[in-house]
Amino acid sequence: MSKVLVLNGPNLGRLGRRQPDIYGHTTHAELAELCRQWGAELGLDVEVRQTNHEGELLDWLNEAADAAVPIVLNAAAWTHYSWAIFDACAQLTAPLVEVHISDPSQRPEEFRHTSVVTPHAAQVIAGQGIDGYRQALEALAAAD
Ligand code: CA2
Q: Give the CB-side neighbour count of residue 141, counting CA atoms within 13 A.
A: 17
Residue 23 catalytic? yes
Contact 104 CB / ligand 1 (< 6 Å): yes
What domains are there in the chain, each with its CATH number? 2-143 (3.40.50.9100)
Kindly name the residue from 28, 53, 100, 120 that is annotated as catalytic. 100
Q: Distance from CA of residue 75 to its chain's centroid?
A: 6
CA–centroid distance, residue 11 to ligand 1 (Å):
7
Contact 124 CB / ligand 1 (< 6 Å): no
Residue 100 catalytic? yes
Q: Distance from CA of residue 140 to its chain's centroid?
A: 12
Task: Provide the pLDDT for residue 1.
Answer: 76
Contact 12 CB / ligand 1 (< 6 Å): yes
Query: For each of the chain's 144 residues, which pLDDT tens digit applies?
Result: 799 999 999 999 999 999 999 999 999 999 999 999 999 999 999 999 999 999 999 999 999 999 999 999 999 999 999 999 999 999 999 999 999 999 999 999 999 999 999 999 999 999 999 999 999 999 999 998
Nearest partner of 99 among 52, 138, 60, 59, judged by Cα:
138
**Residue 19 φ then ψ, to 5°:** 50, 50
d(CA 44, CA 38) in angstroms, rounded, equals 8
Burial of 110-126, coded b for 16+ CB within 10 Å and e otherwise, reads eebeebbbeebbbbbbb
